[in-house]
Amino acid sequence: MPRAREPRQTDTRSLTARSDPRPGWFPTSRVKGVRRWQFLPFAKDGKTRKTTMKKTLAIAAITAATTLAGPFAPAQAEQPALVLYETKGQQTIRQEGIAFVELDPDAPDYGQILAQMPLPPNLISHHIFYNPARDRAYLTSLGRSELRVLDVTSFPFRTKVVPVPGCDEVLDTIAMPVPYPHGITVHDGIDRMLVTSTINPKDPTDLGESIVVIQPSTGKVLSTHKVSDKPSPSGTAPVEAFFVPGVEPPVAYITNMAEGRIWIAEWQPESKTFSFRGDFDFAATGQGMALEVYFNAAGDRAYVTTALPGHLNAFDISDPRAPRHLYAVEAAGGAHHLVFSPDGNRAYVQNSLINIPGMNDGSISVIDLVAGKKLGTIDTFKDAGLTINTIMLTPEAEDFHAH
């Protein structure tokens, strides 16, 4: 059955820039001539919907904070970031969107929402990726078979929805020898791509255990490697793979999500193959669900998030083939993606893994990477009954790593 056409969402300005509020939005106050709007959910009879879920109605609080006098101007903020948010858990009234949040602790609006763009409430937005020119952003979805392409050269970001599958410009399809591809990392210098086999999206008990090696120039599958020391099916669920920047011969770190362990892939120039071996075991430190790896600008530190109970781990990778664990800082349930401060001394960790109960805290943990301690949290979304799916710096930022 054809999908019903979605209403056009071309006007994604901050609500303060709208002359007429959308249905359900009502003025709450004026601050320096800027009218603020608050969302109140209504029943069919026009009366305010009653609910015992205080956090559902707390969505109004975040909306009141998402006001900005005129179009969003990155130059007016010290370190704005983009987050994808959605309603936490299974609340009756759902909300999704893209929000701009201030991360500079010295800014007067630190931790506050600068602007937001609504998304369909059943999209389940997942990741944001920029193209090399950083004039386009690509927003992936778990709830719909579509890709959203955003023009980020000016605000408001204009959006084009591309159906997937059904895209008119599919260039090629690579048949995988194992199911559930997820994490991908590419090294152009050796013409190799590593792809993880992770988890059945319809059955979370059906887990992969392999890494597939592909030659990108030809699309040829070269080999498949089990990343587990246990008998099959081991259910280790490798989720992400990352080549360590600037290392020759190349080395990649692989996070085994279910096993809670790092595996290392080392390039062997003579045979033009990879060797794989297990390395750091987070389970020995009381952690589980290893997820992401981020590298600092100097290339001598790697930072790994674990979702249970939620930590950021620092590794000395002066010898990238023998990473040395330095510390683990408690974040919150679902510790997942992060961004760095401009000086690289702080990390802002987004705490939620696809809204799974117990791993969907919804806060942003602020970590001092030099001292190895947590400085505080940004609870703006959590306090409004929302959780965050990802965090990215805005496209003009000179960041040195992105997921």
Determine, yes or no, domain membership for 172: no
Give 67 or 30, the one with higher predicted confidence: 67
Alpha helices in 107-165 (DSSP H): none
Q: Read off the pLDDT of residues 147-160 as tens digits, 9 standing for 90 and up.
A: 999 999 988 899 99
> Range of 69's domain?
15-163
Residues 127 and 258 in one domain: no
Output the pLDDT for position 167: 57
Output the pLDDT for position 401: 61
Residues in the chain: 403
Does pLDDT of 307 surpass 60?
A: yes
Output the pLDDT for position 8: 36
| pLDDT-wise least confident of 4-13, 68-77, 90-99, 241-250 | 4-13
Does pLDDT of 36 surpass 60?
A: no
Residues 198 and 92 in one domain: no
Domain boundary (128, 163, 198) is at 163
Strands 301-308 and 288-295: antiparallel
Residue 375 belongs to domain with CATH number: 2.130.10.10
**Rounded mean pLDDT of 247-258?**
98
Q: Read off the pLDDT of residues 271-288 as tens digits, 9 standing for 90 and up.
A: 999 999 999 999 999 999
43/305 Cα distance (integer angstroms): 42
Total structural domains within the chain = 2
Determine, yes or no, domain membership for 358: yes
Please report, rounded to a whole number, the percentage of residues in the chain having pLDDT higher than 70. 78
Q: Which residues pair with 306 in a beta bridge?
A: 290, 311
Output the pLDDT for position 119: 96
Output the pLDDT for position 22: 35
Q: Which residues pair with 241 in a beta bridge?
A: 254
Output the pLDDT for position 163: 84
In the numeric block, which tokens belong to residue 354?
């696809």
Residues 127 and 253 in one domain: no
Please report, rounded to a whole number, the percentage of residues in the chain having pLDDT higher than 90. 73
In the numeric block, which tokens belong to residue 102?
């201030």
Which among 77-81, 121-125, 332-336 has the top mean pLDDT? 332-336
Residues 96 and 193 in one domain: no
Does pLDDT of 171 surpass 80?
A: no
Output the pLDDT for position 90: 84
Give 176 or 28, the one with higher predicted confidence: 176
Output the pLDDT for position 174: 93
**Rounded mean pLDDT of 5-34?**
33
Give 289 or 61, the one with higher predicted confidence: 289
The three-class DSSP label of residue 287 is coil
**Average model confidence (pLDDT) across the chain:** 83
Does pLDDT of 76 surpass 60?
A: no
Q: b/e for 266-299, b at 16 or more Cβ within 10 A?
A: bbeeeeeebebebebebeeeebbbbbbbbbbeee
Does pLDDT of 47 surpass 80?
A: no
In the numeric block, which tokens belong to residue 46?
């026009």
Does pLDDT of 166 surpass 70?
A: no
117/119 Cα distance (integer angstroms): 7
Determine, yes or no, domain membership for 402: no
Determine, yes or no, domain membership for 401: no
- Exposed/middle/buried for 12, CB within 10 Å: 0-12, 13-18, 19+? buried
Residues 207 and 154 in one domain: no
